Amino acid sequence: MSVHPTAVVHPGARIGRDASIGEYSIVGPEARLGDRVRLHSHVVLDGRTTLGDDTEVFPFCVLGVRPGHHKDRGEGTELQIGARCVIRESASIHRGSNGGTGKTVIGDDCMILGQIHIAHDCRLGRHVTMMNGCMMAGHVEIGDYATLGGNASIHQFVRIGAHAMLGGAATVRMDVPPYCMAAGYGPGLHGLNEVGLERRGFSPETVAALRSAYRTLFRSGLARAESIERIGAARGSIAEVDLLADFVAASRRGIARHGRNG
């Protein structure tokens, strides 16, 4: 373990093997750092915050402070950050609230770039990429391999599905389904994230089935229940179509619409 002389590390903190803590960083009493975690200079870890093995945190990040909530002070709540994550300069991530799940969770292998904010009770899956300046209100859920363009803003309780992609400066007030692209205010859907699916090894048959399901769900003009029923023949045989249909059926905020904002 390497701790710079100017760092302040509470004796109650648990620090893993070969971890390093840089200049002027502050590590609170309930912090838990895995093996080979690297904190650069001026990092603040507060509250019950856990960093998985090989995670790297860059200067001026503030992780695990109490939620930005008028009444809930986040007593006893947590921030859990997985293994091999990279959190770039000036990111702020709040721990959970007692009025929510009590946990803010960041999955393994996430890339979180500079000047982002992740509020209380958010949950990110694995391999999520958030570009600079993204802002997430409380209780947001992000699926595996989702990509958020720079300065995207996400309303509380919104869900972004797995392998979805948000355009830069998107303002997201409704759920964005898995495998889809969305941009603009609202936002509007703009088809499948086909380039991303190809890069991640989805078969042409799976992409074709998702493309057909997308047309039925978002371009047919049918009501939600009827459109889900129409794609029933593809369900059960293609897991990705099941995930897409189940995500749409479970939406409480409503689903972003094809080509339309607001």
- Are 34 and 55 spatial neighbours (Cβ–Cβ below 8 Å)? yes
Residue 258 has pLDDT above 90, yes or no: yes
Distance CA 3, CA 141 (A): 35
**Does 262 have pLDDT greater than 60?**
no
Cβ-based neighbour number of residue 46 at 10 Å: 20
Measure the CA–CA gap between 68 and 202, rounded to whole angstroms.
Answer: 39
Strand partners, 2: 20
Backbone CA torsion sign across 137, 250, 172, 160: positive
Any idea which fold 2-139 has?
UDP N-Acetylglucosamine Acyltransferase; domain 1 (2.160.10)
pLDDT confidence tier of residue 261, bands split at 50, 70 and 90: low
The average pLDDT across 5-12 equals 98
| Average predicted confidence (pLDDT) for the chain | 96
Token code pair at residue 88: 């770039």
Mean pLDDT of 221-228: 92
How far is residue 21's CA from residue 6's CA, in Å, rounded to a whole number?
10
Domain ranges across the chain: 2-139, 202-250
Residue 239 has pLDDT above 70, yes or no: yes
- Residue 166: which H helix or E strand, with range? strand 165-166
Query: CA 131 to CA 176: how far, in whole Å?
Result: 17
**Per-residue pLDDT at 120 exceeds 70:** yes
Q: Which residues are marked as active site? A: 120-121, 138
DSSP state of 175: B
Residue linked to tokens 């047919």: 220
- Six-digit token pair at 179? 């495998």
Mean pLDDT over 54-80 rounds to 96
Number of H helices, E strands in the chain: 4, 29
Tokens for 58? 């860059």
Kindly provide the b/e burial profile for residues 133-158, where b requires at least 16 CB atoms within 10 angstroms of the residue's own CB: bbbbbbbbbbbbbbbbbbbbbbebeb
In this predicted structure, the answer to whether residue 60 has a pLDDT above a threshold of 50 is: yes
Q: Tell me if 68 sits within 8 A of 117, measured CB to CB.
A: no
Cα 262 → chain centroid: 23
pLDDT score of 68:
94
Q: What is the mean pLDDT of residues 121-131?
A: 98
Q: Which CATH number applies to 202-250?
A: 1.20.1180.10
> Measured between alpha carbons, how far is residue 8 from residues 22, 43, 81 in Å?
10, 10, 21
